[in-house]
Amino acid sequence: MNDEIEGELASEPARPPARRKTSKARMLTETDCILLLRQAWFRERCKDHQPDDEIRAIVAETLAEQHRLQQESIDAFVLKAVASVLTSFGIEHDDRKELRADLQHVRRWRKSVEQAQSYTFKAVITVIATGLMGAVLLGVRVVLGK
């Protein structure tokens, strides 16, 4: 089909391309029309084309492998970064059990301090409330005693 069109175009004498008006007031040449026809032909041919299941499986497998490799490299990078930060703080890899025990002790100590603060606050409120009630009771006795 393309050879026929090109043969007809080559056999015709050279003349300025004919122009056609479109709805958008743009002038189309014969070359533009041929190009549009070819694009439409390719669109129709490619519309029904679907990749095979085998190709899809290969692509999915390749993407999964890339994702796994990226995840492994990210994990390795994070592990190195954490290890270097802990080493810069003076915590070696062998000291992890001791560090864990120390942190558990600090957590228990923090919770006991918070509990002591809570009991202290309650005790202070109780003492103030008892003092006020005693003062009111003493005032009432003085007023009634006169």
79 and 113 in a single domain? The answer is no
Q: What's the domain count of the chain?
A: 3
CA distance 84 to 92: 9
145 and 101 in a single domain? The answer is yes
Domain that includes residue 86, residue range: 55-91
85 and 64 in a single domain? The answer is yes
107 and 143 in a single domain? The answer is yes
101 and 70 in a single domain? The answer is no
Instruction: Read off the pLDDT of residues 107-116 as tens digits, 9 standing for 90 and up.
Output: 999 999 999 9
Instruction: Read off the pLDDT of residues 32-74 as tens digits, 9 standing for 90 and up.
Output: 778 778 877 777 777 655 556 777 788 888 888 888 888 989 9
Can you read off the two tokens belonging to residue 98? 């001791």
87 and 102 in a single domain? The answer is no
Instruction: Give the DSSP H/E element, type plus range, for residue 55.
Output: helix 53-88
